Copies of this chain bind each other. A is one copy, B any other.
Amino acid sequence: MADVATGIRSSPALEVSQAIFELMMSEHPPRFPRVAQELGLAPGALKMLQTLTPGEQVPMRHLAEALFCDASNVTSLVDRLEQRGIIERRPDPDDRRVKRIALTQEGEAFRARAMERLFEPPAALRTLSEVELEQLRDLLRKALDG
């Protein structure tokens, strides 16, 4: 059986995949770039904040890998976040080539606010009951952890 919206054959896994996409796309403009813009951040900068856990000190190289982007882009993203006092460059005690990136205290608060907005449940989820949400959560967690 072919689906109208996609023109491809269906299966439960495919329908789930499609539904998740639909849920992500149910917001206009899409969540991620919208939140980034509202906070005055490049999309990459928001991804970087998401990556940086409070208390961590991450070499820039690792950020480039996590963000799947070029090192020169990390430099420019870090520059701007540092200028805004959200993160800071710290020397690595073991390797003087390396700079470790950490959230400032101010940055931790900023990040918390950013994550709140990023993960705010999509409106579509409001139609589900508490029990249904828990079922949904458990299924998704099983997929992710399993």
Residues of chain A whose beta carbon lies under 8 Å from any beta carbon of chain B? 4-8, 12-24, 26, 28-29, 53-54, 68, 108, 111-112, 115-116, 118-122, 124-128, 130, 132-137, 139-144, 146
The DSSP consensus for interface residues of chain A is helix
A145 to chain B, nearest CB (A): 8
Q: How many copies does the complex hold?
A: 2
A31 to chain B, nearest CB (A): 8
Q: Are B24 and A133 in contact (CB under 8 A)?
A: no
Q: Are A140 and B6 in contact (CB under 8 A)?
A: no
Q: Which of A126, A135, A137, A142 has the most CB of B within 10 A?
A: A137
Closest B residue, CB atoms, query A128 = B143
